[in-house]
């Protein structure tokens, strides 16, 4: 007798999550819509994706496959939080572009826009290389946390000021492989008062 498959939407919630904000199916549907918006802007033209790893890995891979334009892909790495849930100090590029973006249409992709420091740094550095155009796309936007003014051209979901994991987003390198996006239980990163 075969065991019936459990659809992704009703799969058990990971025990470290407080809530699931977006299921795998909801993410998939939204990624398709964003791909259509991107296509409406670039038409059939070629553009260069600059993906901020590791966080944007899943989103970039899924989004790219929904777009049939000729695309070039490059990845850059910006200093990460480490095992923290709030950004500290100024982000720095630790692995830079390898493709030439001069005169190219460039789309920066990140997982989440929070204080805005990371994307404004990357956009400023990219602009110095004189791309033909520069746009940005984020899956999640925590508008309430913005410290540096930055607005992405394409946004998947506006989310509240909660620390989220899954679908590429980590806490101390864990949870990136969760297919959904959820709020991490604060008890996992807050130390109880003595
Ligand atoms: P920003 O420079 O805008 O403050 O931060 C952007 C980066 O911080 C994101 O690329 C992401 O790596 C990290 N980040 C911000 N908020 C969250 C969150 O809720 N969860 C996780 N896992 N990472 C976050
Ligand atoms: Mg990141």
Ligand 1 centre to CA of 165 (Å) is 10
> Which domains does the chain possess?
25-161 (3.40.50.2020)
Rg (CA), the chain: 17
Residue closest to 147 by CA, chosen among 180, 114, 119? 114
In angstroms, the CA 182 to CA 172 distance is 15
Q: Ligand 1 within 6 A of 138 CB?
A: no
Alpha helices by DSSP H, listed for the chain, are 24-42, 57-65, 117-127
From 62, 110, 114, 170, active-site residue: 114
- 106-127 pLDDT per residue, tens: 999 999 999 999 999 999 999 9
Which residues, in sequence order, are bridge partners of residue 53?
Answer: 77
pLDDT number for residue 6: 54
Query: Whose atoms come closest to the Cα of 121: which ligand?
Result: 1
pLDDT at 148 over 70: yes
Q: What is the mean pLDDT of residues 94-107?
A: 95
CA–CA dist 14, 182 (Å, integer): 9
Q: What is the mean pLDDT of residues 2-31?
A: 82
CA of 47 to the centre of ligand 2 (A): 22
CA 39 to ligand 1 centroid distance, Å: 26
Phi then psi for residue 88, to 5 deg, are -125, 135
**pLDDT tens column, 36-94:** 999 999 999 999 999 999 999 999 999 999 999 999 999 999 987 677 888 777 899 98
Sign of CA dihedral 119, 124, 128, 132: positive
């Amino acid at each position: 007798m075969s065991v019936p498959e459990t659809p992704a939407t009703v799969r058990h919630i990971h025990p470290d999550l407080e809530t699931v904000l977006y299921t795998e199916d909801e993410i998939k549907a939204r990624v398709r819509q964003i791909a259509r918006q991107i296509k409406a802007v670039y038409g059939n033209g070629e553009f260069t994706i600059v993906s901020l790893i590791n966080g944007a890995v899943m989103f970039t891979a899924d989004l790219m496959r929904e777009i049939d334009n000729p695309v070039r892909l490059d990845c850059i790495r910006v200093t990460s939080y480490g095992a923290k849930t709030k950004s500290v100090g100024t982000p720095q590029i630790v692995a830079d572009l390898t493709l030439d973006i001069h005169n190219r249409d460039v789309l920066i992709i990140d997982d989440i826009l929070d204080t805005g420091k990371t994307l404004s740094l990357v956009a400023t550095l990219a602009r110095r290389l004189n791309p033909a155009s520069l746009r940005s796309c984020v899956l999640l936007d925590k508008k309430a946390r913005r410290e540096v003014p930055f607005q992405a051209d394409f946004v998947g979901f506006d989310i509240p000021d909660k620390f989220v994991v899954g679908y590429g987003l980590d806490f101390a390198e864990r949870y990136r492989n969760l297919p959904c996006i959820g709020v991490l239980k604060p008890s996992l990163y807050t130390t109880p008062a003595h």
